[in-house]
Amino acid sequence: MALSEQRINELLVRDHERIRTTLEQVESMSDEAIGPYFDELCRELVHHETAEELTLYPAFKEHVAGADSIADAVSAEQDKAEARLAELAAEDRTNPAFRQSLAVFRSLVIEHTGHEERALLKVLETHASFDDLVEIGRRYEAALGAASQDQQLDADAVLRIDHRDALRDAMRQAVARAVGASRH
Ligand SMILES: [Fe+2]
């Protein structure tokens, strides 16, 4: 996979936008059609969040001295959203209550991505050099590349703990290779 030369902030804003669009699409689908869109939403969220966990959060802590508590607070918010997603996936999608849960979840994601953009990305941008931001972007793209075999997985499969652990390991290795490649 060709690695990007985009900065991490550009890549994450792009992916946040995509996630918000997918959420809107899911909400607009009928009960019969919602399944594949909800599966896609779960894949996008799991891939994005795991890749962020391995690239954005450590980079933020490395470049912004004394700001670990900010990163930890936004990361805890992300964990809460993930737990909520697992609950949502277990709900009956034909029940009207599912629509309400979905709307609440969308607000949670909008709030969380907004926090990440304001509290982490804007701050990281002012502390890391252009080249560092590109380097972190490369790591993020490498992590996402390790998730490409997931494209057929449904929500339940992508959210399973054992799958998430295997995905995190594969992404961690891909990030390590990207770090090694950029040092040669
Ligand atoms: Fe994010």
Give alpha helix (H) positions in the chain.
8-28, 34-54, 56-63, 68-90, 96-115, 122-127, 130-145, 155-159, 161-182
Distance 16 CA to ligand 1 centre (A): 6
- Residue 70, judged by CB atoms within 10 A of its CB (0-12, 13-18, 19+), counts as middle
Select from 42, 71, 44, 58 the least CA-distant residue to 160: 42
Distance 52 CA to ligand 1 centre (A): 6
Res 1: pLDDT: 47
Distance 77 CA to ligand 1 centre (A): 11
Q: What is the reported pTM?
A: 0.92
CB 177 within 8 A of CB 3: no
The DSSP H or E segment spanning 154 is: none
Distance 81 CA to ligand 1 centre (A): 11
Domain regions of the chain by residue span = 8-182
Distance 5 CA to ligand 1 centre (A): 19
Distance 12 CA to ligand 1 centre (A): 6
Distance 128 CA to ligand 1 centre (A): 18
Tens-digit pLDDT string for the chain (184 aa): 455 589 999 999 999 999 999 999 999 999 999 999 999 999 999 999 999 999 999 999 999 998 899 999 999 999 999 999 999 999 998 899 999 999 999 999 999 999 999 999 999 999 999 999 999 999 999 999 999 889 889 999 999 999 999 999 999 999 999 987 876 6
Res 180: pLDDT: 76
CATH topology of domain 8-182: Four Helix Bundle (Hemerythrin (Met), subunit A) (1.20.120)
Res 149: pLDDT: 87
Give CA–CA dist 12/8, Å, rounded.
6
Distance 127 CA to ligand 1 centre (A): 19
Distance 121 CA to ligand 1 centre (A): 10
Distance 99 CA to ligand 1 centre (A): 23
Distance 106 CA to ligand 1 centre (A): 13
